[in-house]
Amino acid sequence: MSHQTVIVLDFGGQYNQLIARRVRECGVYCEVKPCTTPLEELKAMAPIGFIFTGGPNSVYDEKAPRVDPALFELGVPVLGICYGCQLMAHTLGGQVTAAQEDTAREYGRTETFYDGSCKLFKGLPGRGVSWMSHGDYMAKVPQGFALTAHSAACPNVAIADETRGFYGVQFHPEVNHTEHGVDMIRNFLYEVCKARGDWTMGDYCRTAIAQVREKVGTGKVLLALSGGVDSSVCAALLAEAVGPQLTCVFVDHGLMRLNEGDEVEAAFGKWDINFVRVDAETRFLLKLAGVDEPERKRKIIGEEFIRVFEEEARKIGKVDFLAQGTIYPDVIESGAGNAAVIKSHHNVGGLPDYVDFKEIIEPLRLLFKDEVRQLGRELGLPEYLVSRQPFPGPGLAIRIIGDITKEKADTLRQADFIFRDEIAGAGLDKAPDQYFAVLTNTRSVGVMGDGRTYDHTLALRAVSTDDFMTADWSRIPYDVLDRVSTRIVNEVPGINRIVYDITSKPPATVEWE
């Protein structure tokens, strides 16, 4: 089944993936494409609409990213957001300049007034708060465009040429701070693009299964199974698609959480799949000895994972495909298109140049975390697996700051278990979306009994998020944090200080490394 598609053209803005999320939440499939994507490639996707994202540039700069003007002649509706709005105005004959003192330079929460006769604002209140972030100003709007929203400082907060289906807003409707922002996006999709709303997780599930079957044929598939949500859902989908042609390899690299290796084996050992557990703790720790740079850790773990898989593949005969539970945030953070590399995920940017498989299969590559959970439910996975706490592929290696030793891993395992145990005991295990401990490389002076100590500082991290593209730190009650701190200091040797991370994403990432 082919779905109607909306293309989000990426001009380097910080909320680009959030725009895609909002479109999908409205029941319409979309993909994010670099603004440099050739027009013929875009046309071949037969989109029902384009959304131009924001971006850090000024459209009048010579090196600013552009779009082929012929795109506006395709008869396809366009919604421009922030930079995307100004780019549309600039391309179609308007004038964009740097905002002066007497014109609109707006940032943050802004009271905005909307023209309800415009399709973009149909059925919405005539005023509300929008989230602004622009230092440029549309001094002249293109011919055929009307002004459809304004603020106290700016007369052209939104513009529209409804005859051609072109709309532009200088605020960000995709962020939660903009009241009724998702409704505006929905209006663009359904009132302007005439979307059918034909994309559901059930459809995605059936399509993904069919695509895997077609690609694999009679071949064999090897899956990197970590026991986390992503690889578990990937395993269920592949089992549905190719059944006995699938072998799941669980590499116990000695960097798992307390008892997790046994739990994974117990959970998947009951499934009707080929399950192999490889004890590789010594092997990984030797490779990581003396390495303290985060990207090198990820690269080393990524390559060693592949080498283990290749060895296991040779034991079971010819294997054609390697499967991975890569999801969309992994791809974005590892750098895609014009995006900067935030950190290489071991199953994306951490892959070695040579891989001894015909092809890599990543059926979850276009899904966000909450969509992966939905897919797991569609496949009939038990809720305890679908709702499992996220755990990075490199495991505790990126939660130990500095070099890695077995002693440090054991210390962190115990401390992390206590943190999770107290969170669950307080009935908060569904409140933060991810929580864990980090063993820092900072030592500090302490006093235990009558003696001086000089031991590790442990950081606790807990965040709340819908999609893991952005996240807010969780407000865990002080009495819970107190119990966690007291238990760790008393029960785990080598730790004498506990700190709590109260940084959101951005500017931080969820993981420390």
Catalytic center residues: 82, 172, 174
Q: Please give the helix or strand (H or E) that residue 435 lies within, else none.
A: strand 434-448
DSSP 171: B
Helix locations, 11-145, DSSP H: 16-25, 39-44, 83-91
Answer for the pair 509, 342: CB distance below 8 angstroms, yes or no: yes
Distance from C-alpha of 296 to C-alpha of 309, rounded to nearest angstrom: 20
Structure tokens given for 291: 């390495």
Per the DSSP assignment, residues forming a β-bridge with 250 are 277
Going by their DSSP bridges, the two strands 136-140 and 95-98 should be labelled as: antiparallel
Phi-psi domain of 445 (left: phi exceeds 0; alpha: psi -120 through 50; beta: other): beta
Answer for the pair 248, 223: CB distance below 8 angstroms, yes or no: yes
CA angle, 148 as apex, 97 and 64 as ends, to 5°? Answer: 30
Distance from C-alpha of 351 to C-alpha of 303, rounded to nearest angstrom: 6
Answer for the pair 440, 456: CB distance below 8 angstroms, yes or no: yes
> What are the helix and strand counts (H, E) for the chain?
14, 20
Residue 133 CA, chain-centre distance (Å), reads 22
Distance from C-alpha of 182 to C-alpha of 465, rounded to nearest angstrom: 17
Structure tokens given for 45: 């996707």
Distance from C-alpha of 208 to C-alpha of 202, rounded to nearest angstrom: 10
What one-letter code names the amino acid at 217?
A: G
